A and B are shown apart, each in its own frame.
Chain A
């Protein structure tokens, strides 16, 4: 997004800031490790402290920092959309096609840079943990091609993600259908979901069918 084209007010504060140091630190450690490894290849042997540094400590450090970077960056909508099957879903969000997810995205009701993550991870650290585990599962399925279209959510959608914003909203509480106690119990127990019965499915069916390109 270029501020000169749309005006500086409309550039989100996160745009362009990135995680500079988090990207460059693992690269710096990796460069040092590569340097030491190259010397090891040329000479065939290194003093044990230098070899341990270059072949164990620096690679482990680089991978630890790289993992932190990946965990952080994988919250991004663009990251999700970069995989073949997710591309159409992210394009549909941005197209404001009237689907529940795109309405939230277009209104800014969810942070647009982390829209997928915000809705698909539950609350608290276990929500984050579950989302990361699910993400690893998605990566494995992407690599092995073990997925079917239309893609479906594994398990039930955690409506705490909806209630986190809507529960206290006057407009939500005033809706007659939300008020009966049995409906509230059914929703909280997971017997009933927000989408499907009452509200439309969050993403359009054609987007759930996958696509031929990435969404970046």
Chain B
């Protein structure tokens, strides 16, 4: 899951860098319609992974889960 999320982040950044270097219609479309969904997906995948690890559970938040 971490690897998938990291791959998505790299792909999203690959859509951002050309736009930042030369903003034109093509790079802006890549940034808005490819990069943004990839960033969203990367965060969702990472959030899901953290959720499966119990990062958002009550026990984890209260600091009782010391075995995780």
Contact = CB atoms under 8 A, between A and B. Distances in A.
B13 A70 contact: no
A15 to B, nearest CB: 16
B46 A30 contact: no
Interface residues of B, number: 32
Interface of A: 23-24, 26-27, 30-31, 33-34, 36-38, 40-41, 44-46, 48, 51-52, 54-56, 59-60, 62-63, 66, 69-70, 73-74, 76, 78-79, 82-83, 86, 136, 139, 142-143, 214, 216
Contacts of A37: 5-7, 9-10, 13
Given A23-B20, A56-B43, 9 more contacts: A30-B17, A40-B5, A55-B9, A59-B43, A63-B39, A79-B23, A82-B25, A139-B25, A139-B28
27 contacts: A24-B20, A26-B16, A30-B16, A30-B17, A31-B13, A37-B10, A38-B10, A40-B6, A41-B3, A41-B7, A48-B50, A48-B55, A51-B46, A55-B9, A56-B43, A56-B46, A66-B16, A66-B19, A66-B20, A70-B32, A73-B23, A74-B28, A78-B24, A79-B23, A82-B24, A83-B25, A143-B33
B11 to A, nearest CB: 10
A54 B17 contact: no
Contacts of B10: 34, 37-38, 41
A37 to B, nearest CB: 4
Contact of B9 (A33, A66, A142): A33
Q: Across chains A and B, which 6 residue pairs bring their CB atoms closest together, nearest first?
A: A82-B24, A37-B6, A73-B23, A83-B25, A40-B6, A30-B13
B57 interface: no
Interface in B6-43: 6-7, 9-10, 12-13, 16-17, 19-21, 23-26, 28-29, 31-33, 35-36, 39, 42-43
Contacts of B19: 66, 69-70
A70 B21 contact: no
Given A37-B6, A48-B50, A139-B29, A55 B43 contact: yes
B2 A44 contact: yes
B20 A69 contact: yes
Contacts of A40: 2-3, 5-6
Contacts of A83: 25
A143 B31 CA distance: 13
A55 B20 contact: no
